[in-house]
Amino acid sequence: MLYQIVSGGICLRSSAPSCNSNGAIATPTTAKLGTTGMVVSEQHEATQAGIAILNQGGNAIDAAVGVGYALAVTYPCCGNLGGGGFMLIRFADGRSRFLDFREMAPGAATPNMYLDAKGQVIRNLSTKGYLAVGVPGTVKGLDYALTTYGTRNRQQVMASAIALAERGFILQAADAALLQGFTKTFKTQPNVASIFLKNGKPYQSGDRLVQSHLARSLRSIADRGSDAFYQGAIADELVTASQQGRGILTKTDLAKYRVRDTVPLQCQYRNYQILTAPPPGGGATLCQMLNILEGYPQSDRLSQTLHRRFSAMLFAYADRNAMLGDPAFVRNPLDRLLSKSYAATIRQKIKSDRAIDPNRVYRTNPAVEGNHTTHYTIADRQGNIVSVTYTINGLFGAGVIAGQTGFFLNNEMDDFTAKPAVPNTYGLVQGSANAIAPLKRPLSSMTPTIVLLNNQPVLATGSRGGSTIPTTVLQVILNREANLTHQQWVDAPRIHYQGLPNVVIAEPYALANPVFQELWRMGYRVIPFPNWGAAESIAIDPSAKTIYGLHDSRERTGSALAQ
């Protein structure tokens, strides 16, 4: 693989993967295993908030909860109170749990709620404004994690988030840039403009962002727990704003929200045991791709290796989009999809010399899937590891803040099938298993994952990036096997294919020209794509007794810190 992006130790372009924001080659943060914890997140202040909790004796779950709240303050595009997500925990004693705090459809949601009288999808209805909002799960998820598996109290883990909101924090260039791109959206609502614009103008690097409304919401959660959000004054403001904004959220919906605490999905890839997200998360797609790929020997030809990867991606996404949905509503045929024999039958369909026509693989009439999110990973010195991906879907979610609550609400309803065969924001064409139903959770691509070797964790990873998340996690795992540095496991340029749309997207520097040309001859249409998720990861080398914080160089606001 072409990975020649540095020259003489100086990055040619500071935006190229493996170059940090100073234009230098990125390196992992390393620490001694067993004596030091590690936090890796997409926002530097939030990373520090996690370290502060570890330093006070909190465990990785305490720190994960604190980072979740801190990101809601310092990374408002994506970190959230108004969204949902998944937390994967692997405890030092070998147990593991998967917490699903994904949003759910409001009780009044219907399968056709985004269609007009002619059955056509109404533009923007599932992505903008209150009708796009699913019942948020984040606050219940974080509070459940803390009270069930944490060791500190709410005040302790939320102290940094509250201080960051109340006193504000200084925006670095990358923090300000995230906000600047959304000036137009912020201007449309006075309550949003009053927080995220400075006298009507975009915030600049060096400015202090104070969020007093959000601080008040956080304080009431710290005092009263999740009831403050799901039953108290915050619930009232959410429902009132929803009603005024032609949404359908009710207090009953909020009161009914429950966290699911379950076992992770497990699969075996070569010698590795993979712990990942069961449906509605993206782990089944990850495992299916790994199953297909493990049956192939190494190939010297990169185009051949990539053709196999693209084919594995195609089959796994076609199955996902046709068959998977919220397990409380549909039966997910995981026994079959994840069996090694099914992977073998798929391999037989993959010819060595040409791309497969996706229309022969997709069995549903394709429908489309909807895309901001953030992933972070934490390890404590005791050996607990936590991998969290949570989201409000699009950048700044549905673009609305209810009254004086101070936080953006999700547009996760777009992850459902608005109409079979019509792609969502992420180009996903999904089927009826992911149809909208009251209190159902939309299918997700989020794939927080922990990889074990000989029963020891060696990698904890995950990413944002909508439909590219499972293939991103796949590539981080496969990179571990390639001749790459730890940092390159997350930074190496990526590719993604999901069949529909029928294009391979490739990150700049991912493919050398001859490989690109050979893929084209095989029938792949490869186009450049610049926006890839940050796979904020932790790697562990038990034999070297070293833990590596792998902050993804793509996201300039983030950091990896050892305790």
Candidate residues 303, 393, 461, 559; the one interacting with ligand DON per rule CB under 6 A: 393
Could you tell me where the DSSP H helices lie in 169-282? 173-180, 183-187, 190-196, 212-224, 227-230, 233-244, 251-256
**What are the residues facing 506 on neighbouring strands?**
495, 528
The contact pattern for ligand DON, residues 469-498, with x = CB under 6 A and - = no contact, is x-----------------------------
> Would you tell me the crossing angle of helices 283-294 and 469-481 to the nearest 10 degrees?
40
> Would you tell me the crossing angle of helices 212-224 and 60-74 to the nearest 10 degrees?
150
427 touching ligand DON, by CB under 6 A? no
Closest to ligand DON by CB, 472 vs 487, is 472
37 touching ligand DON, by CB under 6 A? no
99 touching ligand DON, by CB under 6 A? no
> Which span sits near ligand DON by CB under 6 A: 229-237, 343-351, 357-365, 366-374?
366-374
Candidate residues 377, 445, 471, 553; the one interacting with ligand DON per rule CB under 6 A: 445
47 touching ligand DON, by CB under 6 A? no
> Which span sits near ligand DON by CB under 6 A: 2-10, 230-238, 440-448, 489-497?
440-448
Contact present, 84 and 389 (Cβ < 8 Å): no
Closest to ligand DON by CB, 373 vs 559, is 373
Q: Which residues contact 255 (CB under 8 A, 6 or more apart)?
A: 230, 231, 235
Candidate residues 103, 415, 507, 518; the one interacting with ligand DON per rule CB under 6 A: 415
> Which span sits near ligand DON by CB under 6 A: 124-132, 318-326, 329-337, 371-379?
371-379
Contact present, 234 and 228 (Cβ < 8 Å): yes
Give the separation between CA 245 and CA 221, rounded to whole angstroms: 25
CA separation, residue 132 to residues 247, 307, 327, 396, 413 (Å): 8, 37, 22, 12, 5
Give the separation between CA 357 and CA 362, rounded to whole angstroms: 9
137 touching ligand DON, by CB under 6 A? no
446 touching ligand DON, by CB under 6 A? yes
Closest to ligand DON by CB, 332 vs 373, is 373
Dig out the tokens for 2 from the structure.
């072409």
* Site residues (CB under 6 A) for ligand DON, limited to 510-549: 533
447 touching ligand DON, by CB under 6 A? no
Candidate residues 216, 372, 440, 494; the one interacting with ligand DON per rule CB under 6 A: 372
557 touching ligand DON, by CB under 6 A? no
Give the separation between CA 455 and CA 478, rounded to whole angstroms: 19
State the nearest-atom distance from the C-beta of 433 to ligand DON, in Å.
15
466 touching ligand DON, by CB under 6 A? yes
43 touching ligand DON, by CB under 6 A? no
Closest to ligand DON by CB, 383 vs 448, is 448
CB neighbour class for 244 (10 Å; exposed up to 12, middle 13-18, buried from 19): exposed
Dig out the tokens for 518 from the structure.
């050979």
Closest to ligand DON by CB, 84 vs 457, is 84
List the end-to-end C-alpha distance of the chain, in Å, as a whole number.
Answer: 35
| Kind plus residue range of the DSSP H or E element containing 76 | none
Query: Which residues are identified as catalytic?
Result: 373
Give the separation between CA 405 and CA 383, rounded to whole angstroms: 37
Taking every pair of Cα atoms in the chain, the longest distance, rounded to a whole number of angstroms, is 64
Q: Give the interface with ligand DON as residue ranges (CB under 6 A).
A: 371-373, 391, 393, 412, 415, 444-446, 464-466, 469, 533
